[in-house]
Amino acid sequence: MNSIRPLEKKDIPDIVEKLQHIFLRNAPSRRNLSPDKLTGHFEDILFNNPWYDPEITSLVSRGKDGKINGFLGVVPRPMRLSGQPLRAAVIFYHADSESSVSLAGAQLLKTFFSGPQDLSLTDAASDIGRRIWGAVGGTQLPLYSLQWERIFRPARVAVEALSRRRMLAPFEGALSPVANLADSVTNRLFSSHSPPTGNSYIEEDLDIKILIESLPLFYPAGALQPVYHEHSLQWIFDQADQFRSHGELKKVMVRNAKREVIGWYLYYVKTGRRCPVLHIAAKKGAMDIILNHLFSHARRHGVTALYGRVDPKYIHDVANQHCFFRLGSWTVVHSQNEELIRLFQLGEAAVSRLDGEWISQF
């Protein structure tokens, strides 16, 4: 039987040493970090985040030999429903081996679920992870587990996929000119699939204050929403800026001819690569405009494809933009409040990658 207790700062070096191979496999951007820097990253995420709450804390598991065999990382996140504050927690879990995943994971989750939070959430669960959550009362959310992708340069995307295989990586340079030529021909043939954004829309750097003021207006009054403040949103952006392996983080706000804010998007730019989208928001009826603006912006910066997690309320808008869908990492939630579960099942929870495990990137 494993013993479970709250995580303390003094545990972090042991966790880094024991589980470092897992962190580096799951987060390539951390591969160049020394153990000391990884330890500092842990402290920043788990103890120095803007929402730290000693009542909603991370947990560590030790086996019979007294050694750490797993831990549950927790970042509290405030949310709001119909004007009422809620305490949510984003969870990520690691074990030292697959054999200990099920046992230690179930025990850690079960212990944590007895805490004071209103909602527990993960949006990066593996197939094993979602089954463990299900075994202890979690609810799987297929809609929030879908990932969309919009390809601009299919031949280049194919070459990039081949280059991720070690034996084929040396051929990327030789294949790239052929892929670029093929994409050039394809883009001319299918230019009608890339409608112009138009000159009546104004592009600006995303202003944190405006985002905070506008976001509640973009969602139905009854939707479950994250709560941001200037310092907490800036902290999220600072964390996201560190993931240089994805490229440069772009934060773009779009206004119409009347200078009204109609939406914004955050995504990474890396020329010649597929790039992830973190967040998209739009006023009612304006999502097509924002998506067109995003895709045009990405093409101008040489991005080969964009991908992001589906927001159920925008799924039809995304589908109309020649995107395709596939199952990504699992989103799973747990709550004693059935109304919260129902909102997720109906697609009425306004959560994005800014509100999940992405910012932790362990």
Asked whether residue 214 falls in the same domain as residue 295, the answer is: yes
**More confident call, 199 vs 65:** 65
Residue 332 belongs to a domain: no
Residue written as token pair 């001319």: 188
Q: pLDDT tens, 262-272?
A: 999 999 999 88
Mean pLDDT of 225-240: 94
Residue 342 belongs to a domain: no
Q: Return the bridge partners of 277, or none.
A: 267
Asked whether residue 283 falls in the same domain as residue 243, the answer is: yes
Residue span of the structural domain in which 304 resides? 147-326
Residue 69 belongs to a domain: yes
Residue 356 belongs to a domain: no
**More confident call, 103 vs 183:** 103
Residue 194 has pLDDT above 80, yes or no: no
Asked whether residue 269 falls in the same domain as residue 218, the answer is: yes
Asked whether residue 41 falls in the same domain as residue 132, the answer is: yes
Asked whether residue 301 falls in the same domain as residue 170, the answer is: yes
Asked whether residue 18 falls in the same domain as residue 97, the answer is: yes
Residue 296 belongs to a domain: yes
* Best CA proximity match to 75, nearest among 243, 235, 245: 235
Residue 181 has pLDDT above 60, yes or no: no
Residue 197 belongs to a domain: yes
Q: Cα dist. 12→111, 236, 263, 270, 340 in Å? A: 20, 22, 40, 33, 33
Domain end point (choices 146, 164, 189)? 146
Give the span between the Cα atoms of 76 and 50, in whole angstroms: 9
Write the DSSP assignment of 12-56 as a string of letters: HHHHHHHHHHHHHHH-GGGTT--HHHHHHHHHHHHTSSTT--TTS
Q: pTM for the full model?
A: 0.85
Give the span between the Cα atoms of 284 and 268, in whole angstroms: 25
Helix (H/G/I), strand (E/B), else coil: 123: strand
Eight-class DSSP state of 206:
P
3-state helix, strand, coil in the chain (%, to 5): 45, 25, 30
Rounded to the nearest integer, the mean pLDDT of the chain is: 84
Asked whether residue 133 falls in the same domain as residue 168, the answer is: no
60 neighbors 106 (Cβ within 8 angstroms): no
Domain end point (choices 146, 163, 179)? 146
What's the pLDDT score for residue 35? 77
Domain end point (choices 146, 164, 199)? 146
Query: What is the Rg, in whole angstroms, of the alpha carbon atoms belonging to the chain?
Result: 21
Residue 103 belongs to a domain: yes
The 10 Å CB-count burial string (b at 16+, else e) for 17-35 is ebbeeebbeebeebeebee
Asked whether residue 140 falls in the same domain as residue 177, the answer is: no
What's the pLDDT score for residue 92? 85
What's the pLDDT score for residue 244? 80
pLDDT band at 25 (very low <50, low <70, confident <90, very high): low
Mean pLDDT of 44-58: 94
What's the pLDDT score for residue 159? 59
Q: Return the bridge partners of 6, or none.
A: 59
Residue 175 belongs to a domain: yes
Residue 221 has, within 13 A of its CA and on its CB side, a CA count of 2
Q: pLDDT tens, 284-339?
A: 899 999 999 999 999 999 999 999 999 998 999 999 998 999 999 999 999 999 99
pLDDT band at 172 (very low <50, low <70, confident <90, very high): low
Residues 143, 336, 221, CA angle at the centre, nearest 5°?
60
Find all residues with CB under 8 Å of 178, minimum gap 6, and list them: 155
Mean pLDDT of 157-175: 56
Asked whether residue 137 falls in the same domain as residue 277, the answer is: no
Asked whether residue 158 falls in the same domain as residue 281, the answer is: yes
What's the pLDDT score for residue 104? 78
Number of domains in the chain: 2
94 neighbors 19 (Cβ within 8 angstroms): yes
What's the pLDDT score for residue 152? 86
Q: pLDDT tens, 88-132?
A: 999 987 665 555 556 778 889 999 999 999 999 999 888 888 999
Asked whether residue 109 falls in the same domain as residue 191, the answer is: no
Asked whether residue 259 falls in the same domain as residue 279, the answer is: yes
CATH code, 205: 3.40.630.30
Mean pLDDT of 19-47: 71
Q: Cα dist. 230→77, 211, 233, 236 in Å? A: 14, 10, 5, 10
